[in-house]
Structure 1
């Protein structure tokens, strides 16, 4: 089973056509404004678009939007926070999973019980990733998930995602770091200005 994308496009980018086998990572690099985030948002079904997407044998168009978003976890470069405290952004009963992931990502356990505004940019970035991972999506759409992190935290994120891939998760990882793309990606593509993917 794979992620199949055929003719995915908006008025600003595409068309995109590619396949990502289950359990693999497609890394995408490219200049700012080239369309990388637009691609992820179309895959997440957050922006208007045309084209076909199927994942693990199921056409996205056949699923309610809420069900697709349970299967596809989108982690934007700047995540939204709609409640005051960190804990309010996690489902009831997620404490154990959160605390395990927080430890793996070098986040202090006490952060879970604190206001979001007290978290640094890098902490919020890791919290957003944890928020997505707690839902156990089979497809991860990551928009520069380590952009604000130091080397140790960056490698920790890469390790956590690698483990999810070993469990069968499929990943599309947008990064400005060519070295990271080579590390994490089973395949790497570059987004050209105008929203065209090239090898």
Structure 2
């Protein structure tokens, strides 16, 4: 799906890796390591200072921003919903390309385990967990192949975070999605990931299967990070 070759974008330096279709990858490391920066590069919220990024074998810049963000959905820690109703939010992306069907609203609510009656609810009336579910539904409305998740449960209480995590697991399985998720919660990482990318000091320090790389780190950097 993605291939990065010698990518530089402050604070990242010379990042190289390939991510295959249907992989569930956890991106982790200390604060300020560049994890969110990397997600933004893959969604073209920013472009690298140097290096090449390929998506499905094509240079990422060959895709229009609209097409790329339709196929590569980004869910942030803060839902960032638009003013208006839940329906206004989830139909926004498909409506831009004339692909919205009103029947999709109920289905999307089912995906994220919210009642269909929420479609007409103002987003300001939602709880934090409900907002994050709507944010997921808005991303899924575009039928993406890839989900980029930037700590989507870190601002939620433990119980709500668990519920969102269960929704994510079901969605990824049901839709055969490829996932790249940033999280500081290594227990969550063990549950959701099958591969890990550990970034520190601007470099990809370790790349390996989960949970093996957590139980048997190969680098001093990762060992120290896990101890801390």
| Structure 2, gaps ≥5 residues long | 207-228
**Structure 1 residue 144 displacement after superposition:** 1.6
* Structure 1 residues 67 and 103: CA distance shift in structure 2, 3 A: closer
- Which residue of 115, 119, 122 corresponds with 2:129? 122
Q: What's 2:90 paired with?
A: 90
**Structure 1 residue 39 displacement after superposition:** 0.8
**Structure 1 residue 95 displacement after superposition:** 4.3
* Structure 1 residues 48 and 104: CA distance shift in structure 2, 3 A: closer
Provide the TM-score with structure 1 as the length reference.
Answer: 0.86
Q: Does 1:175 align with 2:183?
A: yes
- Return the structure number with greater relative CO, CA threshold 8 A, min gap 6: 1
**Structure 1 residue 135 displacement after superposition:** 0.5
* Structure 1 residues 80 and 52: CA distance shift in structure 2, 3 A: same
Question: Equivalents in 2 of 1:186, 1:32: separation in Å?
Answer: 22
Structure with higher Rg: it is 2
**Structure 1 residue 94 displacement after superposition:** 4.6
Question: Equivalents in 2 of 1:18, 1:109: separation in Å?
Answer: 41
Provide the TM-score with structure 2 as the length reference.
Answer: 0.76
| Structure 1, gaps ≥5 residues long | none
Question: Equivalents in 1 of 2:14, 2:101: separation in Å?
Answer: 38
**Larger displacement relative to structure 2 (154-163 or 36-45):** 154-163
**Structure 1 residue 120 displacement after superposition:** 1.2
* Structure 1 residues 15 and 127: CA distance shift in structure 2, 3 A: farther
SS in structure 2 at match of 1:41: helix
Q: How does 1:1-40 map to 2 (within 5 A)?
A: 2-40=1-39
Query: Aligned residues, how many?
Result: 194
Question: Equivalents in 1 of 2:55, 2:47: separation in Å?
Answer: 19
Q: Does 1:184 align with 2:189?
A: no
